[in-house]
Amino acid sequence: MLLATIGAVFYNWMRAENTVQINNSSTPTLLPQRTLTQEPLPSSAEMTPEPSYQKPADNAVIKFPVFNYHHIRPMPDVASSTITDRAFTVSPEGFEAHLKYFKDNNYQIVSVYDLLDYFDTGKPLPPEAVAISFDDGRYGQYKWAYPLLKKYGMTATFFITTDWIDKRDFMTWQQVKEMSDNGMSIGSHSLDHAAMNKVDDKQLSAELAGSKKILEERIGKKVDLLAYPGGSYNDHVIQLAKEAGYQAAFSVYKIIDQQPKFRYIIRRFHADDWLESITEKLVNY
């Protein structure tokens, strides 16, 4: 089994290496963020055969809640903030209560790449699998959420708006790379948070391909996940996202059902500060 695992990792690594687009000879080699794929292996008597799964139909439905966060920071007081400021904030205590709830109730926090593996190969997700994501690249996510994720041994995906990095109240590139190096997935949330369904093709290509390239250069790994700014997309945006090399994209919907045919519209829930904003979404799970 160990040999098979090493073989699988090496084989997939080689495959991913070969599919990275190299624009010029000085481009550094990018490692994939995704390592857990089930691809056919060269046959060998010494290898334990990998379990065979059946790839799900395009309209198959799987329940897989993905929670989405923006600001993680002490809750701003009413006098000095807007309702929107507070609605997009989860306090560090609130966030830890969410993680503790997941742990105490046997929810398994997995990578969103596990959902893509299910779509691609049928490899089942663990029971009660849940994923966590963050949008925008705000500093509080690094300062408060990242240490808590490490404390609970959990992973998450951070969707970064690249023009905002190194600005006030946002992370630095060093912090983005540190999280990537320590098991967090990094995706694109565009260059400057433009609504992708409202911009012309020239800008759309820059938002998609430009942010991807910048992120890949900064973290030294392939970036192939996208979250639409404001959740805004249309069929043309999806088409250009595919052409830019994204493997999946995320929006916001109030359901936990996911389908292979919607891998460019993966549904996420907005998480609020109170615990019920999580628990009520898991009632029928």
List of residues contacting Zn ion (CB under 5 A): 135-136
Minimum CB separation of residue 105 from Zn ion in Å reads: 29
For Zn ion, which is the closer residue by CB, 112 or 129? Answer: 112
Least distance from C-beta 161 to Zn ion, angstroms?
Answer: 7
CB 20 → Zn ion: shortest distance, Å?
Answer: 27
Please report how close the Cβ of residue 136 comes to Zn ion at its closest, in angstroms: 5
* Cβ-proximal residues to 46 (8 Å cutoff; 6+ apart), any chain: 3
Q: Closer CB to Zn ion, residue 30 or residue 223?
A: 223
Closest CA to 172 of 210, 144, 207, 137: 137
CB 252 within 8 A of CB 50: no
Instruction: Report the nearest approach of Zn ion to the CB of residue 190 (Å).
Output: 8
Q: Where are the alpha helices (DSSP H) in 66-155?
A: 83-87, 92-104, 112-121, 139-140, 146-151
Which of 198, 258, 250, 202 lies closest to 224 in space, CA to CA?
A: 250
Bridge partner list, 250: 227, 266
CB 47 within 8 A of CB 7: yes
Select 64 or 250, whichever has its Cβ closest to Zn ion: 250
* Least distance between Zn ion and beta carbon 251 (Å): 11
**96 or 135: whose CB is closer to Zn ion?**
135
Which of residues 220 and 230 has its CB atom nearest to Zn ion in the complex?
Answer: 230
CB count in 10 Å sphere of residue 252: 18
Backbone φ, ψ for residue 52 (5° rounding): -95, 130
Q: Show Cβ contacts of residue 180 under 8 Å, excluding neighbours closer than 6 positions.
A: 33, 186, 219, 221
Nearer to Zn ion, 121 or 251 (CB): 251
